[in-house]
């Protein structure tokens, strides 16, 4: 069984600036068909799957048989292009019926199209997409800003070492940088040669992003349940004494507009802070 890659929280600017595509399918390797392809961003993020939240502003039917939909999902740094066709039937139905504009949360696969002219066009193929409230978008902006700034900090330290290739990779791993990110940084520096100018540009975009949040509205969003409280209420309703099936929890949360990745992150947090535990694999139970 092939384990799914983590869905990265990433702003549209960093995603759209990515032109380095690692496609194992083009390598002569019998195992490469089981290896995911990745976009490598200018600051070294390895992206196979993404979790994004934004405003869907455009939806177009571009298929000759009415089976391909293209949408634009906007965050304050730019727009993600999303394509859904016959292999994404639920997403296609969603895009064909969604009322524009709407806040949506999307988990999907990153894709790169490289025509003969050599340009790189990136997009997302949705795995799931749901309408969400504005406070979910605001929380995503804050979380994504924090994660992106952490990645920028690590990348800046990598630049300062003046190391390259395997020497840089070994240095990063020895300094507790995750293997995937260490590899991404090493590849990125060799390909983009990203410098401080781009880093400052990305920091400015993040600053503008955070300034776009309605702080008063965000602070009063405590009237809305946070995701952990929301999941705990669902688990209380479902639990008949032996715990809750994790898959059932995810399915019900998705029906209410919460993405699978958000549920996974929240459950991981609750497990680590002792709010719930696993009496057996695949079963989650609240600590009473």
Q: What's the pLDDT score for residue 272?
A: 66
Percentage of the chain modeled with pLDDT above 70: 88
Residues 6+ apart with CB under 8 A from 56: 71, 72, 73, 74, 95, 98, 100, 101, 102, 104
Q: Give 158-212 pLDDT, tens digit per residue.
A: 999 999 999 999 999 999 999 999 999 999 999 999 889 999 999 999 998 888 8
Task: Give the confidence band of 222 by pLDDT, cuts at 50, 70, 90.
Answer: very low
Q: What is the pLDDT of residues 95-131, one digit of tens each?
A: 988 988 889 999 999 998 888 777 889 999 999 899 9
The crossing angle, in degrees rounded to 10, of helices 134-161 and 179-191 is 70
CB atoms within 10 A of CB 173: 14
**Strand residues in 170-275 grouped as ranges (E):** 244-245
- The reported pLDDT for the residue numbered 224 is 46
The pLDDT value given to residue 123: 95
Long-range pairs, 56-63, Cβ under 8 A, ≥24: 56/95, 56/98, 56/100, 56/101, 56/102, 56/104, 57/100, 57/101, 58/100, 59/95, 59/96, 59/98, 59/100, 61/96
Question: Residue 77's pLDDT is what?
Answer: 93
pLDDT at 2 over 60: no
Q: How much is the pLDDT for 145?
A: 94
Higher pLDDT, 242 or 40: 40
Lowest mean pLDDT: which of 27-31, 59-63, 176-180, 232-236? Answer: 27-31
More confident residue, 45 or 264: 45
Q: 132 falls in which pLDDT band (50, 70, 90)?
A: confident
30 secondary structure, DSSP code: T
**Given a cut of 80, is residue 214 above it in pLDDT?**
no
Q: What are the domain boundaries of the chain? A: 7-51+104-211, 224-286
Mean predicted confidence (pLDDT) in 51-64 = 87
pLDDT of residue 29: 45
Ranges 7-16, 28-37, 44-53, 56-65: which has the least confidence:
28-37
pTM: 0.73
Q: Nearest-5° angle of CA 2, CA 49, CA 46?
A: 95
Q: What confidence category does residue 28 fall into, taking pLDDT thresholds of 50, 70 and 90? A: very low
């Amino acid at each position: 069984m092939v384990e799914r890659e983590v869905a990265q929280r990433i702003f549209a600017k960093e995603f759209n600036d990515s032109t380095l595509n690692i496609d194992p399918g083009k390598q002569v390797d019998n195992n490469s068909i089981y290896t995911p392809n990745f976009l490598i961003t200018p600051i070294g993020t390895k992206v196979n799957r993404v979790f994004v939240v934004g405003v869907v502003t455009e939806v177009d039917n571009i298929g000759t048989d009415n089976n391909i939909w293209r949408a634009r999902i906007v965050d304050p740094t730019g727009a993600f292009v999303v394509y859904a066709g016959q292999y994404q039937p639920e997403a296609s139905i969603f895009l064909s019926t969604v009322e524009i504009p709407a806040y949506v949360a999307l988990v999907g696969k990153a894709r790169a199209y490289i025509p003969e002219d050599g340009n790189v066009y990136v997009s997302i193929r949705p795995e799931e997409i749901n309408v969400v409230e504005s406070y979910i978008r605001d929380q995503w902006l804050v979380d994504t800003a924090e994660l992106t700034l952490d990645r920028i900090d690590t990348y800046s330290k990598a630049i300062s070492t003046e190391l390259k290739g395997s020497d840089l990779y070994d240095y990063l791993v020895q300094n507790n940088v995750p293997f995937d990110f260490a590899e991404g940084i090493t590849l990125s520096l060799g390909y983009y040669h990203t410098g401080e100018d781009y880093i400052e540009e990305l920091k400015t975009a993040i600053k503008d992003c955070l300034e776009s949040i309605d702080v008063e509205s965000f602070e009063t969003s405590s009237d809305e349940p946070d995701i952990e409280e929301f999941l705990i209420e669902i688990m209380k309703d479902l639990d008949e004494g032996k715990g809750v099936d994790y898959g059932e929890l995810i399915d019900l949360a998705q029906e209410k507009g919460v993405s699978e990745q958000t549920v996974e992150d929240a459950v991981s947090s609750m497990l680590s802070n002792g709010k719930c535990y696993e009496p057996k694999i695949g079963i989650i139970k609240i600590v009473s």
